[in-house]
Amino acid sequence: MRNLGVTEALVAQVPEPVVPLLVVLTAFGGPKLLAAASIGGSVGGVWSGRIAPDTARRFLVAVALALSASILLKYGFGLGRPPDTLMLIPEDGYGFPSGHTTATAGVATALVGVARWEGYGPYLLAALAVGIIAATRLLLGVHYLLDVLAGIAVGVIVATAGLRAAQLRPRRTLLGTAGVVAVSLAIWALF
């Protein structure tokens, strides 16, 4: 049902010399890398005085909830990836929603939500980053179109809700986020 033929059509057009570039690009959307970068950037920003602690907390809550939602949905639905014969790189685990696009959309949404930028530039950069990661996942044959679209939707919606909740009820949201993260990490570690 998730296979609309888009992944097959795109993979067939990817020249072999382009695959390493796609692998490098897709790595920038890796959930583990984005989690580490979000934590490191927030801690460094607060420590240097460039980011207010409240801003870092709201950002991290939004990112943590988006990443946790991805894990919970992957294991909740248990939907596989495209067949190995289609993949240009080996990938394992569940495919729906795409963790890379959920993570990238969540981080991009959280950044745009806490930054004090003006104009449409930040939104365009965020959309470009998410679009690049989504495209690499399709071109490498490791996800179906619906996987990446769902990942984008989950990342944006959950991060937006996390930002709002962290602003309205900071203490309760922080405790709830810690619980959700603990459950999602336990599920990820056990299965």
36-95, pLDDT tens digit by residue? Answer: 999 999 999 999 999 999 999 999 999 999 999 999 999 999 999 999 999 999 999 999
One-letter identity of residue 54: D
Task: Report yes or no on 73 lying in a domain.
Answer: yes
138: containing domain: 31-184
Mean pLDDT of the chain: 93
Task: Report yes or no on 52 lying in a domain.
Answer: yes
**How many domains, in total, are found in the chain?**
1
Task: Report yes or no on 50 lying in a domain.
Answer: yes
For residue 133, give the nearest of 30, 15, 18 by alpha carbon.
30
Length of the chain: 191
Task: With cut-offs at 50, 70 and 90, classify the pLDDT of residue 1.
Answer: low
Q: What is the pTM of this model?
A: 0.92
Task: Report yes or no on 18 lying in a domain.
Answer: no
